[in-house]
Structure 1
Amino acid sequence: MSETPDAPRPNLIRRTVFPGSISRAVTTPLQPSVVYASPDPDALDDQYEGRAKGYTYGREGHPNADVLAQMIDRLEGGEGGIVTGSGMSAVTATMLGLLSAGDHIVGGNQLYGRSLRMLTQDLPRWGITATLADPTDVGAMAAAITPATKLLLVEAVSNPTLRIADMDGIEALAKDRGLTLVVDNTFTTPYGFPAYTRGADVVIHSVTKLLAGHSDVTLGYVLARDPAQRKAIYDTNVTLGLTPSPWDCWMAERGMYTFDMRFERAQANAGHLAQVFADHPAVEAVIYPGRPDHPDHNRANALLNGQWGNMVSFRLKGGRAQANALTRAAPQIAFAPTLGDVGTTLSHPASSSHRALTPDGRAALGITEGFFRVSVGCEPIKLLSDDFRNALDATLT
């Protein structure tokens, strides 16, 4: 047996230099590191105090989030957007970053279900109260304002009832009263309604939906006009750990490259499907902003400039039995509580997004057991039309 000592093993831990190259990657590199090394304490001070750009810890920001934020910034016409871990984390960071105990919010009464829950159940536990008002009626919004009101929260096109907010009136109201106007622009996207350039103080997106477009990431985005508000939202996002993952940001960036093509194809399909629903005897009502029979069609025409979007809602004649028959007869159309996928999805708000509301609360919004929201995708329109006609036929038997 040899007594020669073993040769020292080479150290592989954090010593391998990433190869340099005169050429560059065409795609954005995925950087999953949660920590970044700085050369010395002075350099770390420079980063934290804004004298130098750099990264420190993944919860405080990372390159993939910044790349995605800059892409959405360009769509909105602003700069300094913040990517968060989900659409609701964007809402949370905004509400908790800009409000304190004793403050009051006026929210649209036709918001995403979890936003409604936050305003009416969660924020009151922290001393922040809310009043819901009809965003299609600026007078109702004005009447809900109190001396403690700090913020207005609306969706330009409501989820899932597709009503059109009086955005011009609400913007003027916010400016007149010195209130922060927050617009959730998820349904419309900047292509449908450029909320930021139209005067919103804060714009929120659930990037999960149309922007990323493939149902494989969960992300949000916030853009604030005022630098102090932007910092408050950022600090809240970091403190609460609402950070997005680099992987999701990288995947969303890839989805964004086809956003304009997906938007146009899905929007064209939605217009065709709205007519298919209107022509079918099983359908009681069709809700689509591009139709002249939509209750807010004239306002939609002025606000959206012909960009009606990819969302269509309709009410079946009947209730839960007919709703079950419809979804069972269309297994090829995903029955799922989401929107914005490249494929068409079908949602039943009474059993998903708005199930937390009472039956009377849903009825007040027109959400019956026969109410469906369709997020129209990019499939061939004949295929979609045939699928839905067959599914609607099944509700009549």
Structure 2
Amino acid sequence: MATKRTLMRPDILEDGASRPVVNGIQPSVVYASETPDALDAQYEGRVQGYTYAREGHPNAALLARAIARMEGMEEGLTLGSGMAAVTAVLMGLCRAGDHVLGGDQLYGRSLRLMNEDLPRLGIATSLADPTDAAAFAAALRPETRLVLIEVVSNPTLRVADIDGIAALCREKGVTLVVDNTFTTPTAIRPVDHGADIVIHSVTKLLAGHSDVTLGWVAAKDPAQRKAIYDFAVTTGMTPSPFDCWLAERGLMTFGLRFARTQETAERLAAHLAGQAGVIRVLYPTRADHPDRARAQGLLKGQGCNMVSFEIEGGRAAANAFTKGAEALAFAPTLGDVGTTLSHPASSSHRALSPEGRAKLGISEGFFRVSVGLEEPDALLAAFDAGLAAARDAAA
């Protein structure tokens, strides 16, 4: 149907005999309907359409469907950030008096939401070790409404017992929410392992270029899906059409990027393990990883693109390392085309006490690496330069 012209906007681009290969950006905040009856039909789901961008727009819908196909979900919802997705789930589904149980190594802001914001609103929370389903069983309460875990923890790369926790949630009638940002649908599809809701920070690997901020969430249950949507719309978690368009572009190369960065990450982990001054290296496919057997089964032998390691010398050595590895970006993000270094003690987990970080195995010499697309030999040389500087500082 041709676009209806208006007095203020008489020149609207019409479809021609050909069609664009790339989807366009639709920045419109509002959409015009023909009649009140037509608007009713739209809101009641009898016809497809858009009304106001906060309630949905074409670029968000295109991206949501693309990720849903990757995750094996019926449909999804694109939101303004990964934390918007986490918040929409927790706040959309929980009420005062409920209890939420989370993994004890969630992303730092997810931990803050659990530890500070939800209790303030009357929602009780607690944390348990996601690698131990028995620990989760012991932490469940009669009022537990929801369990939130990540498949691979941030930043120590522990692998959750998702199958055991999913079985426990089914038995108790508790909703299982899985953040699949680190692992992505290429390594694991949580819905195939019993997850009820899946979350992504699209900002990271899926978009892949550090130029968008987006989140995504999908729920199997239609009632939960609506509750999450209603909360997100009411609180204005609207994603930018431009960011959605960029993320859709990023998905086109995701498979290639994931394969290349994973290959380099495994090589980097092996290289770091042989260097003086390195206390330990964490990578899921390594023989010395504490959850290697589970990783082999869940991730089908894949290790993904994240590597964590710890160096001697504390904060002084850490400062020297980031300066010495000047070819690498020291930035609290992951999933970029370029390799980034993160220092959890000063970024994602800075809100924890030193004792709290130590309990998780996060020291002042602990780094998390998101491996990018650089030529591998050049990347290893950059790490060698940083380690040499750290050794000098620790001497």
Give the TM-score normalised by the residue count of structure 2.
0.97
Residue range with higher mean Cα deviation, 245-254 or 71-80:
71-80
Work out whether residues 150 and 179 of structure 1, in 8 Å CA contact, stay in contact via their aligned partners in 2: yes
- 1:222 counterpart residue number: 217
Match of 1:108 among 82, 97, 103: 103
Please say which of residues 16-25 and 257-266 is displaced more in the overlay.
16-25
1:86 is matched with which residue: 81, 106, 127?
81
2:388 is paired with a residue of what secondary structure?
Answer: helix
- The whole-number CA distance in structure 2 between the counterparts of 1:144 and 1:281 is 41
Equivalence map 1:255-266=2 (5 Å): 255-266=250-261
Q: Are the equivalent residues in 2 in contact too, given 1:191–1:307 (CA < 8 A)?
A: no
Corresponding position: 1:378 with 2:379: no
Matched-pair contact (CA < 8 Å) for 2:167–2:194: no
Per-residue deviation, 1:300: 0.7
> Are the aligned partners of 1:182 and 1:204 in contact in 2 as well (CA < 8 Å)?
yes
Instruction: Tell me the distance in 2 between the aligned counterparts of 1:20 and 1:149.
Output: 52
Q: Say whether residues 1:388 and 2:383 are aligned partners.
A: yes
Deviation per residue, 1:281-329 (Å, 9 max, x gap):
1100000001000011111111111111000000001200000000001
The answer as to 2:302 corresponding to 1:300 is no
Q: Which residue pairs with 1:149 in the alignment?
A: 144
User: Aligned ranges for residues 108-257 of structure 1 at < 5 Å?
Assistant: 108-257=103-252
Q: How many angstroms apart in 1 are the aligned matches of 2:31 and 2:40?
A: 14
Secondary structure, counterpart of 1:395 in structure 2: helix
Task: State the alpha-carbon separation in 2 of the partners of residues 197 and 41 from structure 1.
Answer: 42
For structure 1, the residue ranges without an aligned partner over 5 or more in a row are 1-10
* 1:198-234 deviation digits (Å, cap 9, x = unpaired): 2210000000000000000000000100000000000
Q: Residues of 1 paired with 2:327 and 2:42: CA distance?
A: 51
- Does residue 329 of structure 1 match 2:349? no
Work out the percentage of aligned pairs sharing the same amino acid: 63
Partner of 1:8: none
Q: Secondary structure at the match of 1:45?
A: helix
Note if contact 2:337-2:372 (Cα within 8 Å) is conserved in structure 1: yes
Equivalent position amino acid for 1:105 in 2: V
Q: How far does residue 393 in structure 1 lie from its aligned partner after superposition?
A: 1.0
1:102-128 Cα shifts (integer Å, max 9, x gaps) = 100110001000000000100111111
Q: Contact 1:133/1:144 (CA < 8 Å) preserved in 2?
A: yes
Q: Tell me the SS of whatever aligns to 1:203.
A: strand
Provide the residue aligned with 1:340 in structure 2.
335
Structure 1 segments of 4 or more deviating over 6 A? none
Return 5+ residue gaps in structure 2 as ranges: 1-5
Report whether the alignment pairs 1:287 with 2:287.
Answer: no
Distance 1:354 1:42 in 2: 52
Output the CA distance in 2 between the equivalents of 1:313 and 1:222: 27
Q: Which amino acid aligns with 1:233?
A: I
Q: Distance in 1 between matches of 2:80 and 2:70?
A: 20
Larger Rg belongs to: 1
Hey, what's the Cα distance between the residues in 2 that align with 1:64 and 1:17?
19
Residue deviations 1:255-278 (CA, integer Å, cap 9, x gap): 110000000000000000001110
Equivalent residues of 2:324, 2:385 under 8 A apart: yes
Q: Does the 8 Å CA contact 1:100/1:128 hold for their aligned counterparts? A: yes
Distance (Å, rounded) in 2 between the aligned partners of 1:20 and 1:233: 35
The match for 2:364 among 353, 362, 369 is 369
The size of the alignment, in residue pairs, is: 387
Q: Which amino acid aligns with 2:123?
A: I
Supply the distance in 2 between the matched residues of 1:145 and 1:199 (Cα, whole angstroms): 18
CA distance in 1, matches of 2:190, 2:29: 33
Q: Deviations over 1:307-366 (max 9, x none)?
A: 110000000012000000000011220000000001100000000000011110000000
**Per-residue displacement from partner, 1:28-84 (whole Å, max 9, x unpaired)?**
010000000000100111111111110000000000001101110110011220000
Taking the aligned partners of 1:21 and 1:32, their CA distance within structure 2 comes to 21
What does 1:18-97 correspond to in 2, within 5 Å?
Answer: 18-97=13-92
Tell me the CA shift for residue 12 of structure 1: 7.0
Are the aligned partners of 1:174 and 1:180 in contact in 2 as well (CA < 8 Å)?
yes
Equivalent in the alignment of 1:7: none
Per-residue CA deviations over 1:136-160 (Å, capped at 9, x if unaligned) read: 1111101111111011100010010
